[in-house]
Amino acid sequence: MSGLTQRYISKELLHFIGRGMDTGEQFRLFAKILSEGWITHPPHNPNASGNLQVNVGASISNNEMYSPDITCFADIPLEDISLHMGKYSSIGLSFTKDFIAAAGGVPVHYLPIDASVNRSKNLNCEDIQKIVFEHGHDSLIEHMSETVSKGQHFDEMLSEYHELFDIFRTLAREADPTPGVSGLSKRVMELKRFLDFHLFSYFKFFDHRKADDDPDNYYFEREWRIVGNLRFTLDDVKTVLIPSEFSRAFREQFPEYVGQVVFTD
């Protein structure tokens, strides 16, 4: 039994190139990436990597609150990439999971925006007395909770998170008024940085009701994400994926490549 595997995950992670370009432009960009050994995020500067913009007033459920500089990879078996290529590109490359993990890559956490969350209501004593008077003691537990969407719940709780951390910072400065950044203030700032970079930057809300081929149905990507650019060599590339029309050009430009080539047409 230990030798069995399941095809809905892959041993390699895919990165497709040039979404929205024609195939000629895609191949030229692909060749540039292979030649330079960089997969980069905008503004595509290898020396500027891994920043995070936190838009406090935006909605996390719309994937707008956290905007990390990321490079992305899909965990899709090669036999099942046609759906993904239809949304992105027919030209790409892959790396082993070990290589991406060593570069800091981890899977994102997908959250269906309309999933239900049961939470306690913020009731005061008068509210509780009113419930007991109108509905009786036996219905108290039922009326003390409410159901909201996961998107709404996260939006409200992340607003609380940012507001409370502002308070924590103020309290830390008051508790340790050492000039500059005190040890206590630094601890608070490092904790927030940890949560922002390593937790909230990997949340991805989606609508689970969208069709499989809908460009906004992200779930099928099974995305792994690196906050930052990826440096690699040709030897790190596990598989090259190109239409067969570019086979000769690829072999001429990269004769030293000894990995797998898969034709995507």
The predicted-structure confidence for 235-257, as pLDDT tens digits, reads as follows 999 999 999 999 999 999 999 99
Q: Is 255 a member of any domain?
A: yes
Can you give the residue range of the structural domain that contains 83? Answer: 12-109+211-263
Q: Which pLDDT value is given to residue 177?
A: 78
Question: 117, 148 in Cβ contact below 8 A?
Answer: yes
Supply the mean pLDDT for the chain: 89
Q: Is 205 a member of any domain?
A: no
Whether residue 92 is found in the same domain as residue 17: yes
HSE, CB side, 13 Å, CA atoms: give it for residue 75.
19
Whether residue 16 is found in the same domain as residue 102: yes
Residues contacting residue 223 through CB under 8 Å, at least 6 positions apart: 72, 73, 74, 75, 107, 108, 204
Q: Which pLDDT value is given to residue 258?
A: 93
Whether residue 102 is found in the same domain as residue 226: yes
Looking at per-residue pLDDT, the higher value among 238 and 121 belongs to 238
Q: Is 129 a member of any domain?
A: yes
Q: Is 158 a member of any domain?
A: yes
Whether residue 218 is found in the same domain as residue 105: yes
User: What does the alpha-carbon distance between residue 64 and residue 56 come to, in Å, rounded to a whole number?
Assistant: 9
Whether residue 99 is found in the same domain as residue 139: no
Helix, strand, coil percentages (3-state) for the chain, rounded to 5, are 40, 20, 35
Whether residue 56 is found in the same domain as residue 170: no
Residues contacting residue 117 through CB under 8 Å, at least 6 positions apart: 147, 148, 149, 150, 153
Whether residue 122 is found in the same domain as residue 154: yes
User: What does the alpha-carbon distance between residue 214 and residue 216 come to, in Å, rounded to a whole number?
Assistant: 5
Q: Which pLDDT value is given to residue 137?
A: 66
Q: Is 202 a member of any domain?
A: no
pLDDT confidence band for 32 (50 / 70 / 90): very high
Q: How far apart are the first and last CA of the chain?
A: 35
pLDDT digits (tens, 9 = 90+) for 185-227: 889 999 999 999 999 999 999 999 988 888 888 888 899 999 9
pLDDT confidence band for 140 (50 / 70 / 90): low
Q: Other CB atoms closer than 10 Å to residue 51's CB: what's the count? A: 11
Whether residue 150 is found in the same domain as residue 216: no
pLDDT (mean) for 29-48: 93
Q: Provide the number of structural domains found in the chain.
A: 2
Q: Is 148 a member of any domain?
A: yes
Q: Is 87 a member of any domain?
A: yes
pLDDT (mean) for 172-196: 87
Q: Which of 197, 223, 255 represents a domain boundary (last residue)?
A: 197
pLDDT digits (tens, 9 = 90+) for 50-84: 899 999 999 999 999 999 999 999 998 888 888 88
pLDDT digits (tens, 9 = 90+) for 141-168: 666 678 899 999 999 999 999 999 999 9
Q: Is 165 a member of any domain?
A: yes
Three-state DSSP state, 7: coil
In this prediction the pTM is 0.85
Whether residue 103 is found in the same domain as residue 146: no
Q: Which pLDDT value is given to residue 4?
A: 46
Residue 42, preceding peptide bond in cis (omega within 30° of 0): no
Whether residue 49 is found in the same domain as residue 129: no
Q: Which of 249, 60, 250 is nearest to 153 (CA)?
A: 60
Whether residue 99 is found in the same domain as residue 138: no
Whether residue 19 is found in the same domain as residue 105: yes
Q: Which pLDDT value is given to residue 119?
A: 79
Q: Which pLDDT value is given to residue 128?
A: 64
Q: Which pLDDT value is given to residue 1?
A: 42
- Give the bridge partners for 231, in sequence order: 38
